[in-house]
Amino acid sequence: MFRNATALVAGGSGFIGANVILRLLSLGANVRATVHKKGAVIKDPRIDYLKCDLTIMEDCRRAVTGVDYVFMCAANTSGAAVIASTPLLHVTPNIVMNAQMLEASYYAKVKKFIWLSSNAAYPPSGQHPVKEDDMFNGDPYPAYFAVGWMKRYTEILCRLYSEKLKSTMPTVVLRPSNIYGPYDDYDFATSHVMAAMIRRVADRQDPIEVWGDGNDIRDLIYVDDMIDAIFLAAERLDKFDPVNIGLGKGYTLKEVLKKIIDIDGFTSARVRYDTSKPSMIPIRLIDISKAEAVLGFKPRTHLEEGIKKTLAWYKKTYLSGPAKQN
């Protein structure tokens, strides 16, 4: 499907974008990627990088010209602190980028548009693993009200282009759980919880600071498995039909941190839980049965293996040379 096709990765310097680029190159695609404030992460002469601001329509049109497939990985993202203090940062820029990229792709006659939603858009579900039909059964968690509804609105836009126009553009929508692995954001100011914990352990922080009481439950999927799911969906879905992607198993943050500490051999580690800091979602379990039925997807990387690979990549990238991350 992708050999000799032209694929655009919007957000080519981001966590998911960088990993999508690597997979596209391995499949023999002609890769174009947009970068904005951050420079290229994957350095390869086969990649055509464009410096773009996707909140500007002309840049969106320039990016999609002559493109067969669009992987919309560009987004304004951040960690819990930013989401809690300035939720609007996740609303306007993302809605503008998503809406404009969909429109530009549509008029450029793109064959398929692949977009990532989020499990944070689901309403509270307690111990019940969320299924795809649960999305609009209530508001998202209060802390994710803004970003959750932004994701939901973009899903509606994807459905519009896929179903409601005279001439349609197939859109693929995936709802991932918490993704972690190489090329993630490890800056404490903007990182998600898994990246932050891995960095704190690898950097030998003393004590290791964890926001909340450590009892929040998360489904964590290794990035290689997520990329597998993205490409299975891109190949097999030809209509708007959102699919959950995750490990299919939840762990408390305490359990995850203990695994990271044990795997890295940080025997003297001390942990301090800061309950004054925001706890975003107390429990989120993901039902991935549809992914198996529709895509044939099963995650291959268990949590311990994913942690081991991520720790090794982080140390090689940030701790083995002069460019240690601040």
On whether residue 264 sits in a domain, the answer given is: no
* Cα–Cα nearest to 39, from 73, 14, 6: 14
**Residue-wise pLDDT tens digits, 274-300:** 988 766 789 999 999 999 999 999 999
Q: Is position 190 within any domain?
A: no
In tens, the pLDDT along 35-46 reads: 998 889 999 999
Residues 6+ apart with CB under 8 A from 57: 100, 103, 104
Please give the distance of CA 303 from its chain centroid, rounded to a whole number. 17
In a domain, 322, yes or no: no
Which pLDDT belongs to residue 47? 98
Range of the domain at 58: 6-182+221-248+287-301
Mean residue pLDDT across the chain: 94
Number of domains the chain is built from: 1
Mean pLDDT is lowest, of 5-19, 60-74, 107-121, 310-324, for 310-324
Residue 323 lies in a domain: no
- Exposed e or buried b for every residue in 122-146, given b needs 16+ CB within 10 A? bebbeeebbbbeebeeeebbebbeb
Residue 319 inside a domain? The answer is no
- Write out pLDDT tens, residues 216-237: 999 999 999 999 999 999 999 9
Q: How far is the CA of 116 from the CAs of 34, 48, 177, 227, 313, in angstroms?
A: 17, 22, 11, 11, 24
The CATH code of the domain that includes 83 is 3.40.50.720
Residue 210 DSSP label: E
Question: Residue 323 pLDDT more than 50?
Answer: no
Q: Is residue 277 part of a domain?
A: no
Report if residue 80 sits inside a domain: yes
Nearest by Cα to 20 from 186, 300, 234:
234
275 within a domain of the structure (yes/no)? no
Contact 71, 65 (CB under 8 A): no
Interstrand relation of 69-72 and 112-116 (parallel, antiparallel or unpaired): parallel
DSSP 193: H
Closest alpha carbon to 143 in 120, 119, 175, 117: 120
Question: What DSSP assignment string belongs to 228-281?
Answer: HHHHHHHHH--S---EEES-S-EEEHHHHHHHHHHHHT-TT--EEEETTS----
More confident residue, 88 or 7: 7
Q: Coil, strand, or helix at residue 105? A: helix
